[in-house]
């Protein structure tokens, strides 16, 4: 089937490429000319494991193409996925201007039936608004549908998630829309055996916000537990293991650390709280999730302050800038907060990240970046671990200890065993452990 994907970012590019890989003919559209030009030269605008090979393969097979024209996209396919950004607005609400822009443009160029699919994460009832906008800008009486198909992929394992999802959720209002989406996903359903859930558009939209907010809640929960562990003298890793083996709880998203970041959880929780407020429900549970997440970073800063006493002129090495391993995404990454605080306190910073460096450099071009972990740690009074990259876990700890001015580590991701670190001569602080 022919498919257009508008918005060629972390979600749109992966979705479009994976649709091509399962046999569809895909046109990925983006208004960012730089991105589209890079892709036409087979250069990746983002880091995602396995993506480059898949893009190259499907471009060569002529199943994947790129364009900057929504007009071309609208003419190309009957089904148009909208995968543009929905960043947070000033009061935490989702900014839907990019989604609306696409709706208006598609309406302008449509000459026959089109199915517009919300792939972007949007608040409940957006489908109705999108339908109203498209109807307003249509130039003739043309039939169309709006559907919701929220995306659950995780950056870092997005390709695997696209081919083996836990479930595919679609919100549809017509038999025609349902059949089209079922046909698109048929190869994935057959191969992975995943559930294909059909529901109303509003329920599908809400499923996404409810899912992400639930996962964020799990993280804030274990972070709150980690604070009690520190006060009581327990070990949060042991507690999380004890909890996670209960099948009703499950082990995932029970890693205590410096809180959740990234382009989804913070903004999706904000948007869900905002939606609830607007609808007349005070979602206090999620407000506490936000509060715990914010203060978790502040607690890390207190630990740094306590350890260094005077932060000014101290050399602080930072391992990890991405909000999680295997991605170059730094949107809402804890590193942004920590770096800004340390610069305010006039610390000297040395930074390391294997893929997020160039994104970070765009905001902090003046800082010192090191491609080698030991070079980064050399002469440091303190080392901060902000992303649990495998390279950090595999580091020669004796060499690390010997290159630092003071072997002091504050580990925001609980990468190492505290007992082992102490035996090696480190002063080692982590989250929720003695």
Ligand X SMILES: NC(=O)c1ccc[n+]([C@@H]2O[C@H](COP(=O)([O-])OP(=O)(O)OC[C@H]3O[C@@H](n4cnc5c(N)ncnc54)[C@H](O)[C@@H]3O)[C@@H](O)[C@H]2O)c1
- Binding residues vs ligand X (CB under 6 A): 6-12, 29-32, 35, 70, 83-86, 98, 101-102, 120-121, 151, 153, 155, 263-264
In whole angstroms, the minimum distance from the beta carbon of 60 to ligand X comes to: 23
* Strands (E) located in 109-226: 114-118, 144-148, 167-171, 195-199
Is residue 88 within 8 Å of residue 263, measured between CB atoms? no
Nearer to ligand X, 134 or 377 (CB): 134
Nearer to ligand X, 86 or 430 (CB): 86
Nearer to ligand X, 33 or 141 (CB): 33
Nearer to ligand X, 29 or 256 (CB): 29
Spatial distance between the Cα atoms of 96 and 94, rounded to a whole number of angstroms: 6
In whole angstroms, the minimum distance from the beta carbon of 7 to ligand X comes to: 3
Nearer to ligand X, 11 or 373 (CB): 11
From residue 194, alpha-carbon distances to 148, 156, 166, 169, 327 in Å are: 18, 21, 6, 10, 26
Residue closest to ligand X, measured at CB = 9
One-character DSSP codes across 154-174: -TTSHHHHHHS-SEEEEE-SS
Of 348, 347, 295, 360, the C-alpha closest to 321 is 360
| 408: enclosing H helix or E strand | strand 408-411
Spatial distance between the Cα atoms of 321 and 6, rounded to a whole number of angstroms: 29
In whole angstroms, the minimum distance from the beta carbon of 150 to ligand X comes to: 7
Of 357, 362, 414, the C-alpha closest to 385 is 414
Check 18, 28, 229, 264 and give the catalytic one.
Answer: 264
In whole angstroms, the minimum distance from the beta carbon of 416 to ligand X comes to: 28
| Burial class of 178 by CB neighbour count within 10 A (0 to 12, 13 to 18, 19+) | middle
In whole angstroms, the minimum distance from the beta carbon of 291 to ligand X comes to: 22
Nearer to ligand X, 71 or 422 (CB): 71
Of 169, 197, 147, 206, the C-alpha closest to 3 is 147
- Residue listed under structure tokens 């994907």: 5
Residue 240 region by backbone torsions, left for phi larger than 0, else alpha for psi between -120 and 50, else beta: alpha
In whole angstroms, the minimum distance from the beta carbon of 159 to ligand X comes to: 12
Return the structure tokens found at 120: 């972007």
- Let me know if 264 is a catalytic residue: yes
Q: Which of the residues are catalytic?
A: 264
């Amino acid at each position: 089937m022919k498919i257009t994907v508008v918005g060629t970012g972390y979600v749109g590019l992966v979705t479009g490429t994976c649709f091509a890989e399962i046999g569809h003919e895909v046109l990925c559209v983006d208004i960012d000319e730089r991105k589209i030009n890079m892709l036409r030269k087979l250069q990746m605008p983002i880091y995602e494991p396995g993506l480059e090979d898949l893009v190259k393969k499907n471009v060569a097979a002529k199943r994947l193409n790129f364009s900057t024209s929504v007009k071309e996209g609208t003419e190309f396919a009957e089904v148009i996925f909208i995968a543009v950004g929905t960043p947070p607005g000033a009061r935490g609400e989702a900014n839907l201007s990019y989604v609306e822009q696409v709706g208006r443009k598609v309406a302008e160029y449509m000459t026959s039936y089109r199915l517009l699919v919300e792939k972007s994460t949007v608040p409940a009832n957006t489908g109705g608004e999108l339908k109203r906008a498209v109807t307003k800008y249509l130039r003739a009486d043309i039939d169309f549908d709006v559907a919701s198909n929220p995306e659950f992929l995780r950056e870092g394992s997005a390709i695997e998630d696209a081919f083996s999802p836990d479930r595919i959720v679609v919100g549809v209002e017509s038999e025609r829309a349902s059949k089209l989406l079922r046909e698109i996903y048929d190869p994935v359903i057959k191969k992975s055996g995943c559930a294909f859930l059909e529901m109303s558009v509003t329920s599908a939209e809400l499923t996404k916000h409810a899912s992400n907010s639930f996962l964020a809640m799990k993280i804030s929960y274990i972070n709150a537990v980690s604070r009690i562990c520190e006060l009581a003298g327990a070990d949060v890793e042991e507690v999380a293991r004890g909890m996670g083996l209960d099948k009703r709880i499950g082990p995932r998203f029970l890693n205590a650390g410096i809180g959740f970041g990234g382009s989804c959880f913070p903004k999706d929780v904000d948007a869900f709280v905002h939606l609830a407020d607007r609808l007349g429900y005070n979602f206090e549970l999620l407000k506490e999730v936000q509060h715990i997440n914010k203060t978790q970073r502040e607690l890390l800063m207190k630990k740094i302050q306590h350890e260094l006493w005077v932060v000014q002129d101290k050399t602080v090495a930072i391992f990890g800038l991405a909000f999680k391993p295997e991605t170059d995404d730094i949107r809402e990454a804890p590193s942004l907060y920590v770096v800004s605080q340390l610069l305010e306190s006039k610390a000297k910073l040395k930074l390391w990240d294997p893929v997020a460096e160039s994104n970070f450099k765009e905001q902090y071009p003046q800082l010192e970046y090191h491609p080698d972990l030991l070079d980064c740690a050399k002469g440091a009074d303190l080392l901060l671990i902000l992303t649990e990259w495998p390279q950090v876990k595999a580091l020669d700890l004796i060499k690390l200890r010997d290159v630092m001015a003071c072997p002091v580590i504050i580990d925001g991701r609980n990468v190492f065993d505290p007992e082992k670190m102490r035996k090696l001569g480190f002063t080692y602080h982590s989250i929720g452990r003695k």
